[in-house]
Amino acid sequence: MEAVHERFLRYVKMDTTSNEANKQSPSSEGQMVLARLLAQELKDMGVTNARADEHGYVYGEIPANCEDQPSIGLIAHMDTIDAVPGRSFNPRVVQYEGGDICLNAEKDIKLSMDVFPELAQKVGKRLIVTDGTTVLGADDKAGVAEIMTACERILQEDSIRHGKICIGFTPDEEIGRGPNLFDVPGFGADFAYTVDGGAIDEIEYENFNAASCKVTVHGRNIHPGRAKNKMKNAARIVMEFNAMLPEAEKPEYTEGYEGFYHLTMVRGDEENAFAVYILRDHDRLKLEERKAFIRRTADFLNARYGEGTVEVALRDAYRNMREVLEHRMDIVERAKKALAANGVEPRCVPIRGGTDGATLSFMGLPCPNVGTGAANGLSLIHI
């Protein structure tokens, strides 16, 4: 049986970066290549009805070997985020003995104890790290590798009693499209768990409510020598808009259940400028208040510079799955018991982000998240 870390090292060398600009599913060819590979590996190990569909979704099932048990789904996503330039993925295993980890001596890239104090908890462990020039892909190929290895073990060990197990791998989670074409009825699970990031002892059944916001500023460019009382500098106005947002309500100043406004992009000149934000809050009413504040800020600037100067486009992304799962806490309790049975003290933490399980829960498939063992998910996982 192939060890989970060996599978992981194989998968992360494949480029499955999702591409938001491509509206097809999957949004990148690499995801389709991995989908076909996973479907074949599932078939080879004996998973029933293993298949990859035309949209890059992988499905399969292990029939029940006992009665009176629910059908449980295990889900992970195949894509990785486009957070660091570069497509040559070079993970390696290190035996960690403390201090900073040199990822790339030539480029002087390291994992610093000052920036990542949680490294102190990894002393004496073997870690898989990147070479510092790309993401590792632990989000979420760690989940993919763990589910694949679990399937192989379940099929090989008759002593493991279980109901029907449904396997699903999704594309394009990182760009918010993972559940869009997921076949919930065909999947056949009563409930499921995403295996998507987080420490090994974490169970997560609540996440941010999310919205996106694009701010567009229409200016008027006049020669600076003759600009008095005529110019409307769009670049400066978009900076003014950003300065009006609450300073303390940004990701770098928040934690736990605290929401935020996060500027992800800003571009412009005197004539035209725009900024892109994501808005997050665990409380749905507070997210609505954030959206209202965005609109009031635009209204204020339009009153100052003229109607139509500032336009905002708001779009809801996903909701807090707690709205569904607080009525199905038996699913969470089942995960707690599983961790405890394996010597792990479980803890429930809120996700400061999103997951396929959030949208799937509202699609009729209750789906909390369990951890993969990743830490600093862009660059490190311990084995």
Sheet holding 92-95, edge to edge: 92-95, 126-129, 380-382
CA–CA gap between residue 260 and residue 277 (Å, rounded): 10
Could you tell me if 309 and 282 lie in one domain? yes
pLDDT of the residue at 375: 60
Could you tell me if 178 and 273 lie in one domain? no
pLDDT in tens, 307-317: 999 999 999 99
pLDDT of the residue at 377: 47
Could you tell me if 8 and 146 lie in one domain? yes
Could you tell me if 278 and 360 lie in one domain? no
Could you tell me if 257 and 159 lie in one domain? no
Could you tell me if 202 and 107 lie in one domain? yes
Q: Are 294 and 312 in contact (CB under 8 A)?
A: yes
Type of residue found at 194: T
- What is the extent of the structural domain holding 184? 4-206+320-382
CATH of the domain at 183: 3.40.630.10
Could you tell me if 131 and 269 lie in one domain? no
CA–CA gap between residue 314 and residue 305 (Å, rounded): 21
pLDDT of the residue at 280: 98
CA–CA gap between residue 346 and residue 200 (Å, rounded): 9
Could you tell me if 312 and 328 lie in one domain? no
Domain boundary among 303, 318, 333: 318
The number of domains in the chain is 2
pLDDT of the residue at 180: 95
CATH of the domain at 311: 3.30.70.360
Could you tell me if 186 and 246 lie in one domain? no
Mean pLDDT, consecutive 10-residue stretches, the chain (383 aa), reads: 90 93 95 98 97 98 95 97 73 89 89 86 88 86 96 93 97 94 97 92 96 97 92 97 97 96 97 98 98 98 97 96 97 97 95 93 97 63 51
Could you tell me if 351 and 324 lie in one domain? yes
pLDDT of the residue at 113: 87
Would you name the residues annotated as active-site residues? 79, 173
Angle between helices 234-244 and 284-305 (to 10 degrees): 140
The pTM assigned to this predicted structure is: 0.90
Could you tell me if 355 and 216 lie in one domain? no
Domain boundary among 318, 340, 366: 318
- For residue 79, whether the previous peptide bond is cis, meaning omega lies within 30 degrees of 0, is no
